[in-house]
Amino acid sequence: MSGSVGIVTTQFAEFDVELRLESGRLLGPLTLAYETYGELNADRSNVILVAHAWTGDAHAAGKNTPDDRKPGWWDDMIGPGKVLDTDRYFVLCSNVIGSCKGSTGPTSTNPRTGKPYNLTFPVLMVRDMVRAQKLLLDRLGIDSLLTVIGGSMGAMQALEWSILYPEMVRSIIPIAGTGRTSPMAIALNALARQAIFNDPLWKKGNYKPEHPPADGLALGRAVGHISFLSDVSMQLKFGRRFSARHGQFDFFGQFEIERYLDYNGASFVDRFDTNAFLYLAKALDLYDVAWNFESLEEALDQLRCPSLWFAFTSDWLYTPSQTEEVVTVLRKLGKPVAYHLIESDYGHDSFLVEPEKFTPKVVEFLQRLD
């Protein structure tokens, strides 16, 4: 019988260090927000690291208070008797640096000025996020990961973990991921950036938190949200339904898909910081697993562990062919790799909307590892 992890507390680890970033700049001191579910076993060998996507956070399962309307973002996956069974595994999720959900990011205070970093925050890469997470695992006394699992930006983190720390990672499960961000994905993020830059309240990143560039951020989020969906999912959910007082020719009447994007954009402004959104988008654009290697082959040759990959047929943001490019190289290198193309109509968000389509494979994979 599957159950909830119950009430969980977000914890904060502080590090009085300066982390050298891929850009060459130093970032510190650092704070990392994280949550844990389940118990460490005697030899600390049952740890699963969950890596979140673009605007996710450390709160992956359970509720922080009894009054919370919704549980953590992957609550269907984490808990007693669930896919990531907390009766069996110690599950850890940490918020990435660059975010605004408890870890050090552009909203944090710059110790040199006593003011928020804003655009003085250094540009990050996914590899920097992983190195910061390694500080947290060292602090917790964890030197072995049964697996690193995540979707989208979480898949990028999983792959980076296996390349940076091959002696520590026993497997990875990248879902809806890519080895390098495509020009189309970068173009969509460029539109989101311009929407924010053109908002007069952005003020080159020096807006007041109580007066963010709400219109620009809402539009930027809407652009991103379109890429998470698919044509079929929009047809199923919205069709061509039109809402207007004066019929089809009401100039300000809206199709249901427009109303949906407006609603999601407005609600996003209430829960996420604009500069953090921009910095994480830049990290996504910069992502290339072959960064600082001679080739994709040289980068992937660092990986020593089994990997289980999933792509979704209707995902047009990180297409199946992008996942298959990585899988093909891993196979040529003789690495233990499994790949499943999952039929789904829900686009890039399939890993969140229809987990039941791929989770049996995850359970089998973890059981074989044990």
Residue ranges for the known binding site for substrate are: 221, 349
Residue 128 CA, chain-centre distance (Å), reads 14
Q: How crowded is residue 321: how many other Cβ atoms within 10 Å of its Cβ?
A: 11
Indicate which residues carry an active-site annotation.
152, 315, 348
| Long-range contacts, stretch 260-267, CB < 8 angstroms, 24+ apart | 261/222, 261/225, 261/226, 262/218, 262/222, 264/221, 264/222, 264/225, 265/217, 265/218, 265/219, 265/221, 265/222, 265/225, 266/214, 266/218
Q: What single string gives the DSSP state of each residue in 136-188?
A: HHHHTT---BSEEEEETHHHHHHHHHHHH-TTTBS-EEEES--SB--HHHHHH
Q: Residues forming the annotated binding site?
A: 221, 349
Residue 85 is encoded by which pair of tokens? 């069974």
| Long-range contacts, stretch 64-67, CB < 8 angstroms, 24+ apart | 64/7, 64/8, 64/9, 64/10, 65/7, 66/7
* CB distance 281 to 274 below 8 Å: no
What's the chain's length in residues? 370
| Rounded distance between C-alpha atoms, residue 248 and residue 297, angstroms | 55
Question: For tokens 């809206």, what's the residue?
Answer: 254
Helix H or strand E segment including 84 = strand 84-85
